[in-house]
Amino acid sequence: MRPLLQLLNQPLPVDVMTLVHDPILETRLLHWPDESHCAAFAARLAEKPGLHDAFLELHGPLGAGKTTFVRHLLRALGVAGRIKSPSYAVLEPHQAGALSISHFDFYRFADPREWADAGFREIFAAPGLKLAEWPEKAAGQLPAPDLRLTLAPAVDESRSVRVDALTPRGVELLG
């Protein structure tokens, strides 16, 4: 077979397939030397009106700083009191004035029936801010996010962060 045709016959790499389904409209690469930079990014995001009906996915290994980012974002939005990690409950709901916030952690999400039984479908159909740690464990259930944050921890306190906007609202949140 001629080389060009051979190339056409090769399976597509996974990230190309992802682009086909959820095109990335814009990407930002950030560096957080310490947690205060995570807090500052969260505070800027909290000021965006589009956040009030957005879905953010948080990727990264255990201890990357996903919950830490959510805590800073919730504080910046005005959530008072102790902010629990949802690990055991999958969903931890919060309220900031009129804004409903649903903080998911799908790390222990194993049964897809739980999606319907727990009313998660209704949450995604209604207005409000949705945040999801370990969204890959609920793949197939979740809609495309507005923003996808991927946190890569270093041995020190620094974090490399990739932020992808997958919708026009996500692009607006990055602006």
**Positions in the binding site for ligand ATP (CB under 6 A):** 32, 34-35, 38, 60, 62-68, 133, 157, 159
The least distance separating Mg ion from the CB of residue 160, rounded to whole angstroms, comes to 18
One residue of 66, 71, 130, 159 binding Mg ion per CB under 5 A: 66
12 class by beta-carbon count within 10 Å (0-12 exposed, 13-18 middle, 19+ buried): exposed
Question: Is 85 within 8 Å of 74 (Cβ atoms)?
Answer: no
Q: Could you give the angle at the alpha carbon of 121 between the alpha carbons of 120 and 123, nearest 5°?
A: 65
Distance, first Cα to last Cα, the chain: 48
Residue 34 vs 117, nearer CB to ligand ATP:
34
Dihedral sign, Cα of residue 143, residue 168, residue 25, residue 38: negative
- 39 vs 173, which CB is nearer to ligand ATP? 39
60 binds, among ligand ATP, Mg ion, none (CB under 5 to 8 A by kind): ligand ATP
Position 159 contacts Mg ion (CB under 5 A): no
DSSP at 166: -
Q: Which does 102 bind (CB under 5 to 8 A by kind): Mg ion, ligand ATP, none?
A: none
Query: Cα Rg for the chain, rounded, in angstroms?
Result: 17
In the bound complex, what is the minimum distance in angstroms from residue 41's beta carbon to ligand ATP? 9
State the number of binding residues for Mg ion (CB under 5 A).
Answer: 3
Shortest distance (Å) from residue 25 CB to Mg ion: 27
Are 109 and 89 spatial neighbours (Cβ–Cβ below 8 Å)?
no
Distance CA 37, CA 27 (A): 18
Least CB distance from residue 165 to ligand ATP, whole Å? Answer: 21
Closer residue to ligand ATP, CB minimum distance, 91 or 171: 91
Give the pairing of strands 147-153 and 159-165. Answer: antiparallel
Rounded distance, CA 145 to CA 157, Å? Answer: 27
Q: Which residue lies nearer to ligand ATP by CB, 70 or 129?
A: 70
- Nearest residue to ligand ATP by CB is 65
Binding residues for Mg ion (CB under 5 A): 66-67, 133
